[in-house]
Amino acid sequence: MLVAAAVCPCPPLLVPEVAAGAAPELDAARAACSEALGVLAAARPDRLLVVGPADESGRGTYPEGTRGSFRGYGVDLAVRLGRGSGEGVAERELPASLAVGAWLLARHGWPKTPVEGLGVAPQLAPERCAATGREIGAHPGRTALLVLGDASACRTLKAPGYLDERAAPYDAEVARALGAADLPALMALDAGLARELKAAGRAPWQVLAGAAEGAGLEGTLLYEDAPYGVGYVVAAWS
């Protein structure tokens, strides 16, 4: 049963070593992520599942102790999922979104609750996202989710996807739905529009919606902004 969820963005720039001199620009987002993780810890889950977007090579499950790094961003910084030793874990590294999740958990000082990872293809159909979520929600014991994903990347002329006038209203609806734990609204997010707006969080959010069915969770919006022209949302469900 799902007992709590935290929704966080996953730009590598959240990691100060990656952001370098621009690190203070995301201090508010980092603080909100810490607050959301506090809600997860307070729920005392039996396990934590970290869910984030991943390309074809990064899809699938990741056991506790799986390693990740930010070397691809010019920073010699390694992370590990949860507190596992990593012994006996396959050499496949965490996708970037889950590496950010592992960094957030380490920064927060996550308790000894077991942690696993799930990489989800951004193009996964909504019904399959919901089905994956329902399987998670049916897991015995108290489950919490750390759900990673960014909204549109088209909020300004300098955004990665250039300016798209549909981006701001899309992100506003995403923030409203995540803040209200509005499951039907999250499931109604259009996969095609999300792809056009480069909103990689759509699939993980719909996994969350499936997992939360019947759980009766209430949401709180902790942060919503678009630094660098990319929509970032932080919310906590409990």
Confidence at residue 221, expressed as pLDDT on a 0 to 100 scale: 98
- Helix locations, 24-150, DSSP H: 27-42, 96-108, 126-137
Domain that holds residue 199: 2-237
21-63 pLDDT, tens digit each = 888 999 999 999 999 999 999 999 999 999 999 998 899 999 9
**DSSP state letters, the chain:** -EEEEEEE---GGGSHHHHGGGGGGGHHHHHHHHHHHHHHHHT--SEEEEEEE--GGG-EEE-TT-EEE-GGGT---EEESTT---TT--SPPPPHHHHHHHHHHHHHT--S--EEEEEE-TT--HHHHHHHHHHHHTSSS-EEEEEE----S-SSTTSTT---TTHHHHHHHHHHHHHHT-HHHHHTS-HHHHHHTT-TTHHHHHHHHHHTTTT---EEEEEEE-GGG--EEEEEE-
Q: Can you name the residues that pair with 144 across neighbouring β-strands?
A: 4, 48
As for how many domains the chain has, the answer is 1
d(CA 118, CA 101) in angstroms, rounded, equals 11
Name the percent of the chain lying above pLDDT 90. Answer: 92
Predicted confidence at residue 84, as pLDDT, reads 67
Task: Specify the CATH number for the domain of residue 59.
Answer: 3.40.830.10
pLDDT at 96: 97
- 185, 197, 192: which is closest to 226 by C-alpha? 197
**What pLDDT shows up at residue 92?**
85
Whether 88 has a pLDDT exceeding 60, the answer reads: no
pLDDT at 90 over 80: no
Provide the token pair at 192.
Answer: 């095609």
Model confidence, pTM: 0.96
Kindly report, residue by residue over 103-130, the tens digit of the pLDDT: 999 999 998 899 999 999 999 999 999 9
Q: What is the mean pLDDT of residues 129-151?
A: 97
Residue 99 carries which side chain, given as an amino acid letter?
A
